[in-house]
Amino acid sequence: MSTEFTGDSASPVTDAAADEVVALLSDLIRINTSNPTHPERPAAEWVAAKLDEIGVESTIIEAEPGRASTIARIEGTNRDRAPLLIHGHLDVVPANAAEWSVDPFGGEVKDGYVWGRGAVDMKDMDAMTLAVVRDWHRRGVKPDRDVVLAFVSDEEAGGRKGAHYLVDNHRELFADCTEAISEVGGFSYTIHDDLRMYLVQTAEKGIGWIKLRSERRPGHGSMVHDDNAVTALAEAVSRIGQHTFPVHLTPTVRRFLEEFGDLTGLPIDVDDPESALKHVGGMARMIGATMRNTANPTMLTAGYKENVIPSTAEAVIDTRFLPGYEDELLDTIDELIGEYVTREYVMRDIAVETAFDGAIVDLMADAVRSEDPSGRLVPYMMSGGTDAKSFSELGIRNFGFAPLLLPPDLDFSALFHGIDERVPVPALQFGVRVLDRFLRAV
């Protein structure tokens, strides 16, 4: 089945933009921005240079030396309207070259894909955005409303040296924005040859990395010892790891299930949501994770010698909570850890959710259908987190909308932080056309 669409003649985006997005992405991948070992400053300067070439002034802001973000504003023709924010992160997670079939920082183009770390998370959206605004310059296009561009650092570590820093220290750059688009949404999911869902992220779970600590009496490993910090901690970790939280349907997940049932004709019962998971195929793990809070043990630390019972033992639990259900999560953790274990957050970030409605959603749908008449927009919740958490604190409505038309057999979710990360060239070019339509209309 072919998944390439050329759109209709009403789309004035040029072939140059469709070609340039590939080169832009390859060049950006070649700038190693692995967090935290390779600071983003070189990539931030590269973005600034690409904007400077089209006469768009930008500002580079560092949270600390090297941890840089590039911010710019493209003026629209209607200054009475609130600006739209497009934000994308420049950092990537590390990659072990020995595990890859290509150089993870080579930006290679082969077999119809652009390969490399960041190809889908999320230098593809950075490149598509740059391709569109650079093409506007060639065509003399100006958007109706101002568009604020934020190419930020440190998203892969929670954004404390990126989006969070900018919101805390430079909020005037974004304070008048009312809506934003960014990553992990707008990608296609093929139901059959003539029907594709484009999943738009309208919500994401909160993040809480919780350290557990037990302090008990130390002793010699050869003795009878009934006051062992390792034992107390291990029992707490086991109880948490085996616990199943109750199901709660937020508005986003309920809407997803309803839309999925309507589009497919499958027997989706929103009053028995777990039974629906068997119908959603490869999305079951992702959708299942957004029906309940989760808590997964990820780290254990204790002891310094084989025959010494230590006085302390620590563990880390990666918890994710649904919008409105953080208190339930913490109450449950307190019940499960028991009498001899304490807890504290080592990192926390909010859950976010916005309604799947309004003119901005209608315009996303129009832009997608103009390029793929078989495409239908459906909201979903992300089980992880993005910089939307930071910008939501300014009252900005955030949507994951980085449009890609994907081959039906591509395991897209496995490419995020995965080995041989790559994005199809036709998907990038489709994304440029959709973004151009959307941004000119919004």
Residue 283: band (very low, low, confident or very high) from pLDDT cuts 50, 70, 90: confident
Helix (H) or strand (E) holding 353: strand 352-353
Three state DSSP letters for 277-342 = HHHCHHHHHHHHHCCCCEEEEEEEEECCCCCEECCEEEEEEEEEECCCCHHHHHHHHHHHHCCCCE
> pLDDT tens across 177-206, in order?
999 999 999 999 999 889 999 999 999 999
Looking at residue 284, its pLDDT comes to 84
Provide the percentage of residues in the chain whose pLDDT is more than 90. Answer: 86
Q: How far, in whole angstroms, is CA 318 from its chain's centroid?
A: 17
> pLDDT tens across 87-134, in order?
999 999 999 999 999 999 999 999 999 999 999 999 999 999 999 999
3-state secondary structure of 207: strand
3-state secondary structure of 313: strand
CATH 3.30.70.360 in the chain: give the residue spans.
Answer: 206-242+296-349
In 3D, which of 352, 431, 351, 360 has the Cα closest to residue 82? 360
**Distance separating alpha carbons of residues 204 and 382, to the nearest angstrom:** 4
Write phi, then psi, for 149 (nearest 5 degrees).
Answer: -105, 130
Looking at residue 14, its pLDDT comes to 79
- Other beta carbons within 10 Å of 48: 20
**Distance separating alpha carbons of residues 337 and 396, to the nearest angstrom:** 37
Residues ≥6 apart with Cβ < 8 Å to 26: 107, 108, 109, 114, 116
Region 305-317 average pLDDT: 96
Region 279-294 average pLDDT: 88
User: Which class in CATH covers the domain with range 206-242+296-349?
Assistant: alpha beta
Q: Is the pLDDT of residue 288 over 70?
A: yes
In 3D, which of 120, 149, 177, 145 has the Cα closest to residue 402? 120
Looking at residue 51, its pLDDT comes to 98
**Distance separating alpha carbons of residues 143 and 136, to the nearest angstrom:** 9
Looking at residue 266, its pLDDT comes to 87
Region 299-326 average pLDDT: 97
Looking at residue 6, its pLDDT comes to 43
Residue 11: band (very low, low, confident or very high) from pLDDT cuts 50, 70, 90: low
CATH 3.40.630.10 in the chain: give the residue spans.
Answer: 15-203+352-441
Looking at residue 371, its pLDDT comes to 95
Whether the upstream peptide bond of residue 122 has omega within 30° of 0, thus cis, is yes
> pLDDT tens across 350-394, in order?
999 999 999 999 999 999 999 999 999 999 999 989 999 999 999
> pLDDT tens across 200-257, in order?
999 999 999 999 999 999 999 999 898 999 999 999 999 999 999 999 999 999 999 9
- Other beta carbons within 10 Å of 274: 11
Q: What's the DSSP call for residue 410?
A: -
Helix (H) or strand (E) holding 202: strand 195-204
Region 19-35 average pLDDT: 97
CATH number assigned to the domain covering 15-203+352-441: 3.40.630.10
